[in-house]
Chain A
């Protein structure tokens, strides 16, 4: 059985600057939770927002996983998804559902190859960011109360690992002016890295705790501007990829063992960012970013070595996420209007997008039905 888990994010810098610590709530057209991940065997799982985007109550998040015949609906059952979905940790079969309505807990559901298996867990409310939950042997989550809690596995009682207050009090935390925790990753050796949002330019906003140590060390700044961590993803063979926003631009860096190597600037504007797909632990830290381009939407791969070419022509503005070509599968763009999800595949010969599938998803409540 192939195991997949996914995490994702759109984070526009204006919102990042304005949101209160650890309690960001999106009311705009899209959500920072829209995006996806590619698993170790090339299966892509994406999260898209459906229904009425401007209405929290009527906006539902749905999960689609690539299969031989296109993307199939794989949203976990048994918990409402109008708060959002995090699909994270490629090797850990993990999705988290964020109900929003006066609910201070998050349902975590195991997925196997995009399919839900019995036995979900309920944990303290997760922060609504794509990598605020990570499972790689052990489980670690960033809560909406500014804590990082963890356990040996999802069924164990979660214990506090650190808090925003603790990290803010460290030398790097003070230099950074840490305002929120936004990401966590469990590395292959069970070391943990936590990412946050900095008010000052003195640090990267990434903190590491090595296995066997109780000390947190902050990593140095990569940019003269304040930076924010968008994603942290484990890499094969140790370490992690970090997707950061600094100076209005998105940068991919490689971290681990107390160091952070600055990548080549991607050229992608943080404000234009609509969705990010992590292309898997074996991708050497590659991401596919979907961005606003003119009046439409376009996508390209970025990595520590710089940006790749644009994937196909500009797409309609309703496009939420683009999955690049993987192995023998063509690139696919997923657009949503209300309750209808439309897939467009990129024809490699003609270089054009063509509609390859369409699905209507019954939105369970509210006026979106």
Chain B
């Protein structure tokens, strides 16, 4: 092959052993955006960001980046920053091969086509399979004709053009899924199916999300694992509550109790994660002096966060947690004894779900109308929880509901939730700051730190007051004829 291309005019360099690692987030965000991030190790370590019809960008690095902050500021980092956000970058496929690059140059010594001969490519960490040799012809932009000519010559000697390049082919052959975990709140459902089958399908889908994020939350790979685990647990609890008279009482009672305990255990870690993630947003406007004075607060928050994670890790690895998940999964997979099911289990899923969503909506509206400027914060927090539960129900049974009215309804519900969330986050974070103060005083924190805590508390309090003042408007927007119309249209479609 090399001889043929050499005769054609290519000049090949010495072969090099190259280890290429495809890097992406756990949920494959880069791939979904049409990007590919490779870490190439030969004489040096180089990151290459490319994609279909995308000019590749290269960056020499000293070590593999695992989070965004490991990359230097600049266009390379900016391009992937919004995509990966807080997610960690992890290897998805590692391939080692001997690589020789051949360059075909024109009369002015300009490269007009590149050939890459990859020999003995093998996926590291997988059973050693067939080590094929491939040749990749890279078209040089502006010199398309030359690449066509080279491909014609190679086809002429019997080479077959492949759909995938060497790395993609290695992934396919070794069964590595480069797409990453793609969790969805809902699954395909039919309004006419038996309610018990629909609920079990939703629970099974949530159980997949719980399992997928379990180890990542223990290992603290990134904060999104705990976030997604917590959401999956909360959704499970919400659907369990809606499963009254559908799921056998002994099953739902045990599961509800177990998942309440587990979801509760994830709370402190997640609250502290959120605080630390929002830290710059909270403290930045206070100015550099205050930020510097607040360093002991951040240190203490980080310490508390580490302690909370340690506790969570122990909970997730406990016998009780493992037993809960194992028994839950067993119930979801074992055949049902259909003779002994609660009275609504065999009713059409659409009718049951429509009724539960309608009831949750009515309860939320009723509770919301009771809120006035003097309502205690606890009651506002309860409203927030009700709104969340309703949203989870709509998301988990989302595939039943027609898209248009569902999205219209969720838009208003989401706006209300954002307002309630802002209020609650400020409440929680003020309380947390107050709880830290005695410890900071004991540790000898300076007056500047105490003044900065006062400034931060005041800023959070302003956010709390502003969101509370905005509540009436947001709620009125939600509690409107058009929102009710959107919900009716969504529920009518599944309850007839």
A and B from one complex: no
